[in-house]
Amino acid sequence: MTAPATSPTVKCLVWDLDDTLWDGVVLEQDDPDPFPEALETLAVLDKRGVLHAAASRSDPAVIARHLTERGLDDWFCAVQVGWDDKSAAVRHIAETLDIGLDTIAFIDNDPAERAEVAAALPSVRCYPAEDVARLPALSDFQPEHITAEAAGRRKLYRTEWRRREAQEEFGTDRQAFLASLDLVMEVRPAASDDLDRAGELTVRTHQLNSTGLTYDARELRGLSTSPDHQVRIAQLRDRFGDYGVIGLAVTELHHDDAVLRLMLMSCRVASRGVGGVLLTELIREAREGGRRPVAHFVPTDVNRNMLVTLRFAGYEQVASEGPLMVLAVDPARATPQRQQHIQVLSRA
């Protein structure tokens, strides 16, 4: 069990396009060719689960046409094209993908553009275009585990883009949109095949991590076979497809308490209300086992939303040990009702 790295692994590389991804300027040339080394980096990072996005100063329709004609459009989970500052485009991409700015990298041939992004978004790592071939060799672009889900992450995020387009049809009626998704969450004990993905999730997820701790697959395997611990996995699907493993909970069974040592949810499902759903299942399971639901929480720079989720589920602070907050559910308090827009399948 270790504290998170100061510089998390890059989740998304944002590309400038003209003179960075391809050789020339689309608005000035008929059909600029992509750089071979750029295509290689696209492919290598994609296999590792690193997403690609684009931020370009140009005409959106012209860029979209060129990406499609060159067969490049499928590489990108988000594309921001216009004449605003690149930092605004990068920020919007991070918000669209529901990932932290500290997990974004930016590559651009123009030093002025890189300087603007670095000044406005200091946590974003910036690279010159001439470094494109060496990016895969950098530790920031090398996740500890490359799971089957990592290799398919681009597909998951492109599916999420379609969900966002569907959401726009509902305007501000968020509940109607959520109800239209036909969400199904399965909560079950972690199996051996889940553990690499679960370990990867602890490393990649910071905003919705209750303690900021990480477990690798070996540690999770030991905990999952321990009689004093429970390791639970949450999977999610909807009418658009499967989100895969999106949640992890590690509980210690300590005397009459079920102590939630770690709970985290993937940032890409933060807007679905699934954190509260998983907590409701953990509270129900603890009470059915005759134990008091307890949770540990350690504040970090980015996980305040997890504390809010814990409190909405009924956890209240009962003690503190330095930065560690100990929260518990009042035995007299009723178990929270399940969210109506999510069907839950629970396997003990």
Whole-number pLDDT of residue 161: 74
Same structural domain, 97 and 219: no
Tell me: the pLDDT tens digits for 278-288?
999 999 999 99
CATH code (residue 245): 3.40.630.30
Confidence class of residue 2 from pLDDT cuts 50, 70 and 90? very low
* Residue 148 belongs to a domain: no
Q: Specify the pLDDT at position 198.
A: 77
pLDDT tens digits for 56-97? 999 999 999 999 999 999 899 889 999 999 999 999 999 888
Distance between CA atoms of residues 271 and 81, nearest Å:
25
Rounded Cα distance between 105 and 108, Å, is: 10
Q: In terms of DSSP H, where are the helices of the chain?
A: 36-47, 60-69, 86-97, 111-120, 148-151, 153-169, 174-180, 195-204, 217-224, 274-288, 304-312
Grade residue 3 by pLDDT with cuts at 50, 70 and 90: very low
Read off the pLDDT of residues 203-230 as tens digits, 9 standing for 90 and up: 665 556 777 777 778 888 899 899 999 9
Q: CA 312, CA 57: separation in Å to the nearest integer?
A: 43
3-state helix, strand, coil in the chain (%, to 5): 40, 30, 30
Strand order in the sheet with 229-238: 315-321, 324-329, 292-297, 257-265, 241-254, 229-238, 183-189, 342-346
Same domain, 38 and 127: yes
Out of 30-34, 69-73, 194-198, 335-339, pick the least confident: 335-339
At residue 4 the predicted structure's pLDDT band, cuts being 50, 70 and 90, is very low
- Same domain as 122, residue 235: no
pLDDT at residue 319, as a whole number: 94
Overall domain count for the chain: 2
User: Does any domain span residue 247?
Assistant: yes
Phi-psi region of 59 (alpha: psi -120 to 50; beta: other; left: phi over 0): beta
Whether residue 209 sits in one domain with residue 116: no
Q: In whole angstroms, what is the distance from residue 250 CA to residue 220 CA?
A: 9
What confidence category does residue 165 fall into, taking pLDDT thresholds of 50, 70 and 90? Answer: confident
Polymer length of the chain: 348
In a domain, 46, yes or no: yes
Q: Give pTM, 2 decimals.
A: 0.61
What digits encode the pLDDT tens for the residues 22-41? Answer: 999 999 877 899 999 999 99
Give a yes or no: residue 129 inside a domain. Answer: yes
pLDDT band at 266 (very low <50, low <70, confident <90, very high): confident
Q: Are residues 193 and 282 in the same domain?
A: yes
CA dist 217 and 161 (Å) reads 30
Structure-token pair, residue 120: 């406005």
Q: What is the pLDDT of residue 200?
A: 73
Residue 91 within a domain: yes
Q: Tell me, yes or no, whether 120 and 181 share the same domain.
A: no
User: Residue 157 falls within a domain, yes or no?
Assistant: no
Pairing of strands 33-34, 104-108: unpaired
Give the domain range for residue 109.
12-141
**Per-residue pLDDT for 5 more than 70?**
no
CATH number assigned to the domain comprising residue 17: 3.40.50.1000
- Full strand arrangement of the beta sheet holding 51-57: 78-82, 51-57, 12-15, 104-108, 125-128
Is residue 183 in a domain?
A: yes
What pLDDT score was predicted for residue 273?
Answer: 82
Q: pLDDT, tens digit, for every residue of 129-151? A: 999 999 999 999 988 767 666 66
The pLDDT confidence band at residue 339, using thresholds 50, 70 and 90, is low
